[in-house]
Amino acid sequence: MDAVEDNAEAAEVERGAGTMSPSIPKRTVASPRVDRGFRSLALLGAVIVLLIAAAIGVTLVQGASAALLSFGPSFFTSRSWDPVLQQFGALPSLLGTIVAAALALGIAVPLSIGIAIFLTELAPAWLARPVATAIEVLAAVPSIIYGMWGLFVLAPVVAEDVQPWLTKHTALLPFFQGPPMGIGMLTASVVLAVMVVPYIAAVARDLFTMVPAPIKEAATGLGATRWEVVRSVVLPYTRSGLIGAVTLGLGRALGETMAVTFVIGNSHEIGLSLYAPSNTIASTLANEFTEATGDLYLSSLMALALTLFVLTFVILALGRMLVAQTVRKGAA
């Protein structure tokens, strides 16, 4: 917790919280009873937040217990997902979630940083603002729209043009072989990447604008090209914030449901080909939750939900720790 406290203190100083007055007295002379009531009401609101978070944990664990107890730790390594035989394993969905998120970030992070560099260093002022607004519009579009666009517009293009081209030119790699159906891990990753780019780009751009001009000018004064200024000054300065931004994007990519469910193909198979239909935990839940027959099926689905919850929590906590660590090392 030390890192969190240090970070909170640093944030406090930055926010100028020294301007906040000392604690409000618990009971003013004017109306002690109303004050007590108001304080309690506010505390109630805060406690409800705590209760809800705790309730999520408790409910998920409770719901998942049946499946976890009957399958044990092999639940996470089993590849079978058979409602008929009542054999459920999380590995296909879990692997699909991780692969989709990793691929999506692999596409999105370079794109986002490129966009942020364009907005802060390259674009003239009259261009930067509309482009930045356009990126924010991308972020505001509901994710189901991405899914529908992916299914009706992108998938046919991928099936007819992209996949055959890739198969022809990468004959040695197993990743791009298989029937070009259009829906599958590849399309899902692309849709996910397009969805995640605005978030990371917006945060990265805000971070880049916070780099103090004097140190950038110093680098330019020493003869650095624009790219060298970015590489040697801007990127190291904003490293911790960028880690936070990427973590945020990763958290979103892991939990995204609608953008993925339309195009991932809904198949509990593991294979090397990116063309193959696949599943993520979120798409499994979306597709099968209302049709789950039997308590074990439902409990397995809740175990998947619990896994996703823990996974996102760990990733986000890790991101915060990494950010706090780099802040402490004095890098940024």
Partner 1 sequence: MSLVLLRRKAVNALASLLSTLSAIIALGFLAWILATLISKGAAGIGLAFFTRLPKPPGELGGGLANAVVGTVLLTAMAVAFGVPVGLLAGIHLAEFGRDGRIARTIRFVSDVLMGAPSIVVGVFVYALLVRPTGKFSGIAGAVALAVLMLPIVTRTTDEMLRLVPGSLREAALALGAPAWKMVTRVSLRAALPGITTGVLLAIARVSGETAPLLFTALNSPYWTFNPAEPTASLNVTMFNYAMSPYHDWQQLAWAAALVITTGVLLLTIVARTLRARAR
Of residues 191-230, those binding partner 1 (CB under 8 A): 194, 197-198, 201, 225-228, 230
Q: Measured from the CB of residue 263, what is the shortest distance to partner 1 in angstroms?
A: 11
The reply on whether position 290 binds partner 1 by CB under 8 A is yes
From candidates 13, 24, 85, 172, binder to partner 1 by CB under 8 A: 24
Number of residues interacting with partner 1: please give it, by CB under 8 A.
100
HEC readout, the chain: CHHHHHHHHHHHHHHCHHHCCCCCCCCCCCCHHHHHHHHHHHHHHHHHHHHHHHHHHHHHHHHHHHHHHHHHHHHHCCCCEECCCCEECCHHHHHHHHHHHHHHHHHHHHHHHHHHHHHHHHCCHHHHHHHHHHHHHHHHCCHHHHHHHHHHHHHHHHHHHHHHHHHHHCCCCHHHCCCCCCCCHHHHHHHHHHHHHHHHHHHHHHHHHCCCHHHHHHHHHCCCCHHHHHHHHHHHHCHHHHHHHHHHHHHHHHHCCHHHHCCCECCCCCCCCCCCCECCHHHHHHHHHHHCCCHHHHHHHHHHHHHHHHHHHHHHHHHHHHHHHHHHCCCC
**How does strand 81-82 pair with strand 87-88?**
antiparallel
Q: Measured from the CB of residue 330, what is the shortest distance to partner 1 in angstroms?
A: 23
Q: Measured from the CB of residue 135, what is the shortest distance to partner 1 in angstroms?
A: 6
The reply on whether position 103 binds partner 1 by CB under 8 A is no
Residue with Cβ nearer partner 1 (141 or 272):
141
Look up residue 297 and give its two tokens.
């099926």
The reply on whether position 21 binds partner 1 by CB under 8 A is yes
The reply on whether position 15 binds partner 1 by CB under 8 A is yes
Over the window 230 to 259, marking each residue x when it contacts partner 1 by CB under 8 A and - when it does not, the resulting string is x--------------------x--xxxxx-
The reply on whether position 10 binds partner 1 by CB under 8 A is no
From candidates 72, 106, 110, 174, binder to partner 1 by CB under 8 A: 110
The footprint of partner 1 on residues 155-194 (CB under 8 A) is: 194
The reply on whether position 111 binds partner 1 by CB under 8 A is yes
From candidates 6, 59, 69, 215, binder to partner 1 by CB under 8 A: 59
Residue with Cβ nearer partner 1 (56 or 272):
56
Stretch that binds partner 1, among 55-63, 65-73, 159-167, 208-216 (CB under 8 A): 55-63
Over the window 129 to 158, marking each residue x when it contacts partner 1 by CB under 8 A and - when it does not, the resulting string is --x--xxxxx-xxxxxxxxxx-xxx-----
